[in-house]
Structure 1
């Protein structure tokens, strides 16, 4: 069975980059929407490890895990706004925030997926103009059927949501470029704390990655395509290619790993992030590092999410002076996030009144850059 990958694509722009939403909202930039007032407020957890500057939100992703019976779970990706720090992995931080229960299920095979309880943004006014809004009544009835979770139904729901968003987008084109998020029509309450650095904010909708044909990297048909592209480049430069045969394996700088990465990125050039909990990351280089185990429970870490380079393009396009930080110094091709396979909670959560509290755990992030640029 093919691995399912859900792509985070740009939806509408926020009317105000400091507007409030909720922790069910999936978005890029803006201010973090913590599930409770006492969550995410620890000064140390929100400071850059290199310079001590307060971190700003890059991505907020609502990520419930059906197989672990965890509905209340959100990932927050933060970075230091200082240009001198942001190229360094140590200036980035990933916080996993979830509601912890004493009897919470913890399987070794901690697979998860994006649920279909999503509210896709459109130009029509909505209460929160967000993606991933939870429906309390549906949750109560669906919790009893988590073991029978239907991935096909999930995929169908996601595709339907993506189609609705796509059709809405076609009906009302913005003055911005066609591939740039549009402004959201709803004005919401905003955070007045100007000490919180913010990136430009836009909301996200999901689409499932589809395989583009049966061609794989390294196949004869793909090599032929690459050869044709090289020929076209030669014609543009008025250079004659007199019967030269393109040889994939001997082409200078040919890198199958990077070509595979580029091919799947070009298939969806708007993808801001990729989500496939327990799946495999899409890497531009063969260089990888040991992500180790969870510092809390010792369980293995697994891939869950990765930010993609188009995200920085959209943020650059929004540089209109209403944001006090910008991704000008970002040089990475992808940022890969690994989380605890059991999605465990801190031991401090045990013994709380009601046997339920919000746990905050720092997860692992890996940066991959273009090796040619670092040479």
Structure 2
């Protein structure tokens, strides 16, 4: 069974490239929408490691992981906007931002929920019940008229007391937290911004039954193409080897790209990347927990086209010298939280981790 791949396709353009959304929004360009105003991100994490320039957002992807019970999770892909640094791998950064998971459970939750700190109004010691039962009560011992009068006076005092308290509080202002909107940082470079919608990639592999307009037999076509080109170019093997189009890995990449020519990124958590070249850089392990990193998403070259088109006269920054075919993002397979909550209940704070990104270039350029 083929792995499920979600394609990020271009939606509407933002009216203002700096317009604010929320962290549930998936988009290309614009400004990062952080989940909270106080993320505690160190300044160097948002600066180019080569020249120190502030990084600009390339992609913001809302990426919850159901099987790990992580709903609040976002991937931010950033790059240095300067022409000198932009094409170099060291100028790219990937930040994984997520809310800490609830890994600690309160002991005895079921037993403690109904218990208070003081004595219960309905709880009467068993000894007292027996004691009350043992005494014979004679109605003649009580002056019922005096008792009724005393109860009426007590009720009147209680009513007057409530009215006084109510009148004192009626005009009191209700305190509500005032959320001050953080002013936009105009020093942050901004790429043209458009929003993303998803579509599932449809294709069939070798041996699959049935077809549709969106399906194509990759394995069979790759084999047929390889045999055909080998026979046709037998006398010109040198040119064949040097041509990038002759690379079977690239041919497969091109086939999947041509099926959805507007795909800006591909998402398949824990799946396999669509490689443009056979040489793959090792993703390594998580620097915090030591778990192996796994593939999560990759940016695709059509993204460059849309940014180029929108950047004509409407943005100071653009990918004028980017030549990559795909950018592959690898993240911690456990999606760990790098820091603790400092004694606070888990799930109360946000954490930031830097992940790995690799670049596959267009070698023909």
Same fold (TM over 0.5): yes
- For residue 298 of structure 1, report the CA deviation from its aligned partner: 0.5
Distance in 1 (CA, whole Å) between partners of 2:200 and 2:260 is 10
Partner of 2:35: 35
**Residue among 343, 350, 353 paired with 1:361:** 353
User: What is the count of residue pairs matched by the alignment?
Assistant: 273
Distance in 1 (CA, whole Å) between partners of 2:336 and 2:300 is 27
Distance in 2 (CA, whole Å) between partners of 1:86 and 1:266 is 26
Unaligned runs of 5+ in 2: 106-180, 204-214
- For residue 72 of structure 1, report the CA deviation from its aligned partner: 0.3
Distance in 1 (CA, whole Å) between partners of 2:235 and 2:227 is 6
- SS for the counterpart of 1:365 is strand
Given the alignment of the two structures, is residue 352 of structure 1 paired with residue 344 of structure 2, yes or no?
A: yes
Partner of 2:62: 62
Given the alignment of the two structures, is residue 256 of structure 1 paired with residue 248 of structure 2, yes or no?
A: yes
Partner of 1:20: 20
Cα separation, partners in 2 of 1:354 and 1:367, compared to 1, 3 Å: closer
**Residue among 199, 219, 222 paired with 2:223:** 219
Partner of 2:124: none
Alignment check: 8 A CA contact 2:339 2:351 kept: no
- SS for the counterpart of 2:192 is coil
Distance in 2 (CA, whole Å) between partners of 1:65 and 1:104 is 19
Cα separation, partners in 2 of 1:194 and 1:277, compared to 1, 3 Å: same
Larger radius of gyration: 2
Alignment check: 8 A CA contact 1:10 1:270 kept: yes
Alignment check: 8 A CA contact 1:19 1:191 kept: no
Q: How does 1:63-78 map to 2 (within 5 A)?
A: 63-78=63-78
Partner of 2:140: none
Distance in 2 (CA, whole Å) between partners of 1:74 and 1:315 is 22
RMSD: 2.5
Q: How does 1:125-144 map to 2 (within 5 A)?
A: none
Distance in 2 (CA, whole Å) between partners of 1:41 and 1:76 is 13
Distance in 1 (CA, whole Å) between partners of 2:182 and 2:307 is 20
Distance in 1 (CA, whole Å) between partners of 2:190 and 2:89 is 19
Alignment check: 8 A CA contact 1:11 1:203 kept: yes
1:338-375 alpha-carbon deviations (Å, 9 max, x no partner)? 000000001243523565210100000000102333xx
Cα separation, partners in 2 of 1:347 and 1:8, compared to 1, 3 Å: same
Partner of 2:333: 341
Cα separation, partners in 2 of 1:315 and 1:355, compared to 1, 3 Å: closer
Alignment check: 8 A CA contact 1:69 1:104 kept: no
- For residue 218 of structure 1, report the CA deviation from its aligned partner: 2.8
Partner of 2:291: 299
Distance in 1 (CA, whole Å) between partners of 2:83 and 2:75 is 23
Alignment check: 8 A CA contact 2:24 2:62 kept: yes
Partner of 1:91: 91
Cα separation, partners in 2 of 1:204 and 1:190, compared to 1, 3 Å: farther
Alignment check: 8 A CA contact 1:302 1:338 kept: yes
> What TM-score, normalized by structure 1, do the two folds share?
0.68
> What TM-score, normalized by structure 2, do the two folds share?
0.70
Unaligned runs of 5+ in 1: 106-188, 228-243
Q: How does 1:238-253 map to 2 (within 5 A)?
A: 245=232, 250=237, 251-252=240-241, 253=243
